[in-house]
Amino acid sequence: MARDAGGNVATSAAVAANVSNATAQVTLAWDPNTEPDLAGYRVYVGTSSGVYSAPTNVGNVTTYTVTGLQPGRTYYFVVTAYDSTGFESGFSNEVSVIK
């Protein structure tokens, strides 16, 4: 994992959300982390900004579809990267959608 001068861990760049209003799902996509020891990514979902449920380990892929979302609710998403030792990066930028 990359670290800045302050010791903070960098993660993948921007996260994008594509919403299908006909279904209760959102597809997230992010730029890959280029660290050689990258093991995968975790997706966090919440219904309040900055407050997320336990992460979903999505493996070493750069897209993930979150299903089971309720209509009329706002959802917030962040992604982290983790390395082969389990060390996890900081959160990506947060994206939100109204389902």
pLDDT of residue 72: 85
Which domains are delineated in the chain?
A: 15-98 (2.60.40.10)
Q: What is the DSSP letter of 8?
A: P
**Radius of gyration in angstroms for the set of CA atoms belonging to the chain, rounded to a whole number:** 14
Answer yes or no: are the C-beta atoms of 12 and 30 closer than 8 Å.
yes
pLDDT of residue 71: 85
CA angle, corner 63, sides to 57 and 66, nearest 5? 65
pLDDT tens figures, 2-45: 444 444 444 545 565 555 555 689 999 999 999 999 999 999 99
Answer yes or no: are the C-beta atoms of 12 and 33 closer than 8 Å.
yes
